[in-house]
Structure 1
Amino acid sequence: MSTENTVTAVVGLGGIGGGIAHRLLATGHDVVVYNRTRSKAVPLVEAGARAADSPADAAAEADVVVVSLSDEEAVEKVVFGEMASRLRPGTTLIEMSTLSAEYARAAAERLAALGVHRVEACVIGNPAMAKAGDLRVFAAGRDEDVERVRPLLGSLGRQGMLHLGETGRATALKLAFNALLGVMTAGLAEAVVLAEQAGIPRETLLTAIQKSGWRSPVLNFRAEFMRTRAYQPAGFRARLMAKDLRLAAEASDGARLPLIELTSRRFAEVVAADDGDKDAAVIVELGSGEGGR
């Protein structure tokens, strides 16, 4: 899809959505943005985007709508409750929210009945990577729909975009990635707690891990939150991690996923402790009994 005379709306300007909107502006797209918290749109307007007054207004003038919301309840409210009546036939909706595969397939059918093409996109990375166009991008949906937005999605990633096939597969891949991230984060947290119980300072353990064969970009990112004990602003909110782990466990279709199920329960405890809006790394404080700051 050429960017010439094409309007792209980005609805949901959290870390990833906001970063993607910045990237689209940097690559020459005409961008309209909307976020419930209006202040998040200000830097984008200053960078050249136009702010819409509502999701419906954003959808009404767009050829492509990128949706990046927290969960199925938000998608139901925003996409089907507010935008659906204003989406023009022929519009492509790119869904980047992490949902269940079952919901994704049903959403595709409902949008198709409106003449709207739905492409789901699983993006792997953090907000800084989104802004830099350094994500990994995996798409699912009908071949012709995915090809229509391949240039746009390709501009977001370091290796272009990979099409996984039928609707539901991209969201399944995202759940698999996030389940692994959740288990790794919980494992790192327990290693910290174990070391601290033995009198080893947190700083010592985390530095040792980061200089060993156990290091990884993902663990390093979470380790910095644990090192500073400052969990906001979050890179990945604990409440979203809890939601994704729950969806992953529910998607098992009879397969045994004991680590994911246990980690899901642990993150549910984090949310119950009123730490859901902090970074997922705050789970280390649940283990230590100190509570997140």
Structure 2
Amino acid sequence: MTNSKRKDVVIIGGGPAGLNAALVLGRARKKVLLCDGGTRRNLMAEQIHGFVTRDGTPPMEFRRIAREQLRPYEGVEVRDVGISSVERIASGFRVVLAGGDAVECRRVLLTTGLVDERPDLPGYRELWGKSIFACPYCHGWEVRDRAFGVLATSAMLLDFSLFLTGWSRDVVAFTQGGLEVPAEQRQRLERAGVRLEPRRIRRLVPHGEHLEAVELEDGTRVAREVLFAHPHQRQTELVQRLGLALDEQGFVRINERMETSAPGIHAAGDLTTRLQSAIVAASAGFQAAAMINHALNMENADAGFPSEG
């Protein structure tokens, strides 16, 4: 793998989106630096699901295979390093790595994912990824027909409770005392067999590494084996510092070229969408890489293929 200071593209983030983008750009003969800061959102997840040929693969094994498959492409460099800053310069961008090293490039691709802000609920952190999940497509099959709970603190999450009946008919929606449920919505929940629990949760009761019950503020325990929750998400500090335009839900806005509000800075994966899974992120990485490569090829052709230095 090359180690040049001048790149066509710097990819920031080494998950499925970044890895697939690096593969596509490497095969397109581009000089790429993939920077992986090392902190995984799916750190607690045991396996990746819903990814054909990779269903059930542990996340770290997925990364090992992906990096191994990047090795034949001499234009691709992978570094386990964070990013301090991204600065616009006349020829594109200057990306400063943690530790002070700097690389110049023509395009930047952000595949940083998001930061999950887990609630301050006793037992939540310990059970996250073991009995507490966000995505039934990722984990629903493994916990099918078990006793589900849902942290349903919004109308959207009440609808999510209905949706989960496709995996289990034993669902309790915990509204945490602060949600008014209209009569029509109550009737929908009752028809589906979803029970409403308005009392606040005091703590989650574990049995070993798994959930046993949800303990309410008055001491009542509701036996549950699984809890689905959507914690608040925020952009990484780097994305926030770049000042990119966000949509009303806090995701980075991108256009049809997968480009952000900052020309030349593209984005792919979880930071752009609520539809978050490994295969969706990998697909977005492919799309972003193809868009970037097309733009670079056309620029090269129009300029008469200048020396890349």
TM above 0.5, yes or no, is no
Compare the two structures and name the one with the higher strand fraction. Answer: 2
Measured against the shorter chain, the TM-score band is under 0.3
Higher relative contact order (CA 8 A, sep 6+): 2
* Normalised TM-score (structure 2): 0.25
Query: Which structure has the bigger radius of gyration?
Result: 2
* Normalised TM-score (structure 1): 0.26
